[in-house]
Amino acid sequence: MFGNLNELPSPVGKFTVGITQVDTRFTTKEGQEKVVPALIYYPADSNCGQASAPYSSPQELQTLNKNLLYLTRRMANLKTHCYSDIPLSTKQENYPVLFYSPGAGMYMMQATVLCCDLASKGYVVVAVGHPSYLGDLRLANGRFINEYAPFGKFLSSTPKLIFNLARKYKLLKKNRRLSDEEFEALTQTLYVEGFAGSYINRCSMMASENLSQILNKLEEINAGKIESQFNGKLRLSIGVGATGHSLGGAIAAQFCKDDERVTCGINMDGVIFGEDPFMDVGKPFMLLGTKLVWNLARQLYTNNSADSYFIEVADTAHFGYSDLLFGARQLNLLGLLGKREMGEFRSIVTDFHLKFFNKYMLKNDDSFKAHHFKNIVLREK
């Protein structure tokens, strides 16, 4: 009825895609013991005759389902095109590494299409389950953890502020772009008066620490200190890339700022939360999303002293930058996915990720302007 798919689109690249889980245990800067799960999507040569891996689970999706009025409850039934624990491809000596962080209240597999696309093109993609702002997370031993309650409490206190700002600045009006003066006033209210010292900023900083700790573990794996098929196969000498959706995009920026091992990053349709919402990331960075992000987070573009890009994609909406685009089409009853055709929407997200990471990770000079998509505004500096 709504055009939902029964299986996710096939990956765009030549590699088969494997998937495995790695949990990282560490002591935080605050002295707390913590475990953070991550799914690793990686290039492979064959699926070895296996059935595809399951897509998340009803328990992992229950927080999302509650937040979105159960319009997403069938997502767990989707068929994937990745395969559990198959051998890593032998076609290359090693593979570059990217990190992906999901959006608030989402789930670890929320960008399986994008992660599989990138893995099928030769990247190892680490999708991280950040406990501070996601719901139920399944560990590799089958146990579930849930640390969502403080974030849920924070969310319940924010709608009035957001509603008042949206009404005052007419943020939902079509083609509405704030002047520099309006943007300065809005960001003062939003970031300085509204969210200064809030739990969401702390979440971003904690998540950045999670990514650094997982990267520490990947370095140990690569060095052979932990037995794995990835021993010596991760091209960490060039640094790592980071991307994410919504709050996950803010985390990508914070990770770029915090960890010198990060080469570049992407924020998909997210505003900026973290230690300093007006920070200079100081590394190549791209914002990819709706005009609302230009109205709420353009400082990430303008304040960056390194190469910066802003790709504004017309006829898209926030949750379309995830797998909900394919399996929860009924969300468009609320205008949450956008009007752009789903195949083209997916191609835009994947293509600009590849252009960006190929340029800054692999040093391929692939022009951002050389694309065939319509109704896209590209800014760069």
- Own/partner contacts of 12-15, CB < 8 Å, gap of 24 or more, are 12/117, 12/120, 12/121, 12/350, 13/43, 13/117, 13/119, 13/120, 13/121, 13/122, 14/120, 14/121, 15/43, 15/44, 15/45, 15/89, 15/91, 15/119, 15/120, 15/121, 15/122
pLDDT of residue 220: 98
pLDDT of residue 159: 67
Domain ranges of the chain: 16-147+202-380
At 344, list the tokens: 């083209």
d(CA 270, CA 310): 12
pLDDT tens for the chain, 381 residues long, are: 578 999 999 999 999 999 999 999 999 999 999 999 999 999 999 999 999 999 999 999 999 999 898 889 889 999 999 999 999 999 999 999 999 999 999 999 999 999 999 999 999 999 999 999 999 999 999 999 999 999 988 888 786 777 787 788 888 777 788 888 888 888 888 888 788 888 999 999 999 999 999 999 999 999 999 999 999 999 999 999 999 999 999 999 999 999 999 999 999 999 999 989 899 999 999 999 999 888 889 999 999 999 999 999 999 999 999 999 999 999 999 999 999 999 999 999 999 999 999 999 999 987 777 788 999 999 999
pLDDT of residue 98: 98
Residue 246 phi/psi, 5-degree rounding, is 60, -125
Q: Which CATH class is domain 16-147+202-380?
A: alpha beta
d(CA 258, CA 159): 30
pLDDT of residue 36: 98
pLDDT of residue 266: 98
